[in-house]
A and B are shown apart, each in its own frame.
Chain A
Amino acid sequence: MKTPAEILHSIRPEFDFALSQDFVGDGMLDSFDVVTLVTELDREYSISIDGEDIRPDNFRSLTAIEALLKRYGVPR
């Protein structure tokens, strides 16, 4: 099973996400990337991220993504 970091790298291999605490503000993820990320997370972890949770704040950092996944029952 891929980790969130691996999924991020597969979407945007040109960026080092470890260097950022704000993926959206730093331009590493645009709005299309966020929707792609949601699709990949849904598929990888067999969850369905609610439409209300598809907002930049939940995808700004690895910590935020992991917190979101935890709310959907995905263990760290």
Chain B
Amino acid sequence: MRRVADAREVAEALHRVKVEPLEYVTNLYATPSILEAWIGTGDLDRHEAAGCLLLFRRDVGFRHLYFAARTREALAGCLKDPLADWRAETVTADLIGRQLDVAATVAAFAGAGFALYTTLVRMARIGFPPAPNEPTDPGVTFAMPDEERIVHGFLDDLLDRYSEQTPSLREIRRAIADRQVLVARRKGNLAGALCYATTGVATTLRYWFVASEHQDQGVGAALMRRFLWLSRESRRIVLWVMAGNHDAITKYEHYGFRRDGLVDEIMLRRGDAS
């Protein structure tokens, strides 16, 4: 692997890789600004072989793998290279698409020693009418700047690091400053949190969690009602949820969310050194 020094390197590598219009495969959806943020923090490395580019973003104790390959065969060959130094580390890869469309790529990863860790499904709420009245639960407010560590710790305790990508403290700080983090308090304690991001007419619900000791007390519902009120101008709201979390899926369906056919098959390979 080599550290990526600038976005131009990635662009030139993609230029070398993408020459076959009907066979190109990728899971690299990061915008140039996001790529530049990763490069800026020194968290991005690359590995390139014939017709295949692999990018590795460092996380705590593992790396996220992004790929762009001329063909699926080029991808499979690159992943199987026994001498590649990245194989010593634990690596995850998100394979996003319609389930039938990603099956062959899942097989390519499985052939290189990756196993399916979990599957996420995307749900969307489209064009729903706004809530009739503004919710008034006084325990639900926007998170304050001095709560960034509490919110970060709350999420860090609850989220699965391989599939749910715990936000960094910096990301939480920015989201709080953008008034996109709701917290629910009960008797002064943090009982639940909901984080989202709005771009124009679309909103992504990133996290919606209630502490175990406060479940079945209406905390989650209060957060969701407030969130839907605040997002009433959004034409489309999307979220990702674990396919096996039937309880959460039922709750989301209650609020008008429906699966939209997209899945994220999260593949994991434990490092040879672990």
- Give the chain A neighbours of B202 by CB distance below 8 A: 27-28, 30
Closest to B29 in A: A31
Partner of B18 from the list A20, A27, A50, A56 (CB cut-off 8 Å) is A50
Assess the B68–A48 pair: CB atoms within 8 A: no
- Give the chain B neighbours of A35 by CB distance below 8 A: 26, 28-29
Residue B85 at the chain A interface, CB threshold 8 Å: no
Assess the A27–B198 pair: CB atoms within 8 A: yes
Residue B17 at the chain A interface, CB threshold 8 Å: yes
When chains A and B are docked, how far (Å) is the Cα of A40 from the Cα of B199? 24
Stretch with Cβ within 8 A of A (4 or more), from B7-15, B155-163, B179-187, B249-257:
B7-15
Partner of A32 from the list B29, B199, B203 (CB cut-off 8 Å) is B29
- Give the chain A neighbours of B19 by CB distance below 8 A: 48
Residue B42 at the chain A interface, CB threshold 8 Å: no
Select the residue from A12, A48, A49, A51 with max chain B CB neighbours within 10 A.
Answer: A51
Partner of B200 from the list A25, A34, A51, A56 (CB cut-off 8 Å) is A25
Contacts A51-B15, A54-B14 given; indicate if A27 touches B21 (C-beta within 8 A).
no
Assess the B29–A25 pair: CB atoms within 8 A: no
Residue B244 at the chain A interface, CB threshold 8 Å: no
Residue B104 at the chain A interface, CB threshold 8 Å: no
Q: CB-CB contacts of A39-63 with B at 8 A, as 1s and 0s?
A: 1001100111111101110000000
- Give the chain A neighbours of B26 by CB distance below 8 A: 35
- Give the chain A neighbours of B32 by CB distance below 8 A: 55-56
When chains A and B are docked, how far (Å) is the Cα of A52 from the Cα of B7? 10
Q: Chain A residues in contact with chain B, CB under 8 A?
A: 12, 14-15, 20, 22, 25-28, 30-32, 34-35, 39, 42-43, 46-52, 54-56
Given contacts A28-B200, A48-B19, A51-B17, 12 further A-B contacts (CB under 8 A): A20-B200, A26-B199, A35-B26, A35-B28, A48-B20, A48-B21, A49-B18, A50-B14, A51-B15, A51-B68, A54-B14, A55-B32
Q: Chain B residues in contact with chain A, CB under 8 A?
A: 11-15, 17-22, 24, 26, 28-32, 68, 96, 126-127, 198-203, 234-236, 262
